[in-house]
């Protein structure tokens, strides 16, 4: 099935959605649409917005934010991605991959938390199968393709990306996955842990009374309250893709997930609030004119024994 994004303005119907399953894992998506899309803000890539991922009686995503509107940046769910902007400061427009051509309204520095008017969202085409959804955005300068699939016979979700540079200038950007995990609708509390394959060091840490870094892990110290959050830039990884290996385990309910990639980390952050704990791994993207850059993320779902 092929679904085309409309070019109308104003919400005229319910947000378009799609669902896939391999009999072990089930996932639901909101689809890109300039008129009726669930997400129409300018921070995150419009493709792959995932309000629901379920396996073995556990859920991994859901609403973590208190207020919704389609142009609120953080009114989004799932393993959603964001690129650093292209050409900001070169003129009155710039490019946000996965969103389109945006208008720079003044001389202020770029802020990912500011909404920018969209001049051209390009053309989105969505192709849906039983076990996968392919999103393709074509904008002057690039073609961006993301395919989210469920591996046959395994509790695994795979996100593959291809970015083709159709312009005359190199594309240099960073892309990160915010990973808005909401495991079993659980408030973030002791028993939920992030694990990495290397000893951690942190800078700019906030919320030290909420979480503790212990060796290769981050553990929650007490239940979070509304308006509380934690954050740190993490170090300790090397230049190999094998260090992009992150586990989130919820020992309260038993839900767990392992995240891997075929590209090395370029930066690593974690952030959490009352409903979500987010490992935020970055990848550097470099694409010469006429070339294509690809990367793949793997999400292996499993269970752990509750404490």
Chain mean pLDDT for the chain = 95
Collect all residues with Cβ–Cβ distance below 8 Å to 109 and sequence separation of at least 6.
none
The confidence score (pLDDT) of residue 11 equals: 42
Are the beta carbons of 290 and 163 closer than 8 angstroms? Answer: no
Three-class secondary structure of residue 184 per DSSP: helix
Given a cut of 70, is residue 180 above it in pLDDT? yes
Domain regions of the chain by residue span: 2-177, 187-274
- What is the pLDDT at residue 19? 98
DSSP string, 200-258: -EEEEEE-TTTEEEETTEEEE-S---TT--EEEEEE---SSGGG-EEEEEETTT-EEEE
pLDDT above 90 for 9: no
pLDDT tens column, 104-140: 999 999 999 999 999 999 999 999 999 999 999 999 9
In this structure, the number of other CB atoms found within 10 A of the CB of residue 46 comes to 28
Residue 280 pLDDT greater than 70, yes or no = yes
Answer whether 194's CB lies under 8 Å from 248's CB: yes
Residue pair 157/53 in contact (Cβ under 8 Å)? The answer is yes
Q: What are 280's strand-pairing partners?
A: 269
In this structure, the number of other CB atoms found within 10 A of the CB of residue 58 comes to 18
């Amino acid at each position: 099935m092929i679904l085309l994004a409309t070019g109308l303005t104003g919400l005229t119907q319910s947000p378009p959605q799609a669902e896939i399953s391999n009999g072990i894992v089930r996932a639901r998506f909101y689809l890109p649409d300039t008129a009726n899309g669930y997400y129409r803000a300018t921070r995150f890539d419009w493709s792959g917005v995932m309000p629901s991922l379920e396996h073995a009686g556990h859920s991994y995503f859901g609403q973590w934010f208190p207020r919704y509107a389609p142009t609120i940046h953080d009114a989004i769910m799932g393993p959603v991605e964001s690129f650093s902007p292209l050409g900001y400061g070169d003129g009155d427009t710039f490019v946000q991959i996965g969103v389109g051509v945006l208008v720079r309204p003044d001389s202020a520095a770029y802020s990912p938390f500011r909404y920018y008017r969209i001049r051209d969202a390009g053309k989105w085409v969505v192709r849906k199968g039983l076990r996968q959804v392919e999103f393709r955005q074509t904008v002057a300068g690039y073609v961006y393709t993301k395919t989210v699939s469920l591996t046959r016979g395994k509790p695994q979700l795979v996100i593959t990306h291809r970015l083709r540079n159709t312009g005359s200038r190199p594309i240099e950007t960073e892309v990160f996955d915010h990973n808005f995990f909401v495991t079993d609708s659980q408030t973030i509390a002791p028993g939920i842990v992030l694990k990495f394959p290397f000893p951690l060091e942190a800078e700019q840490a906030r919320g030290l009374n909420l979480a503790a870094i212990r060796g290769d892990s981050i553990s929650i110290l007490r239940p979070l309250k509304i308006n509380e959050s934690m954050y740190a830039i993490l170090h300790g990884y090397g230049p190999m893709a094998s260090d992009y290996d992150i586990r989130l385990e919820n020992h309260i309910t038993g839900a767990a997930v392992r995240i891997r990639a075929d590209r090395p980390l370029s930066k690593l952050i974690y952030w959490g609030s009352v409903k979500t704990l987010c490992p935020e791994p970055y990848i550097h993207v470099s694409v010469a004119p006429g070339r294509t850059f690809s990367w793949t993320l793997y999400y292996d779902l499993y269970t752990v024994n509750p404490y």
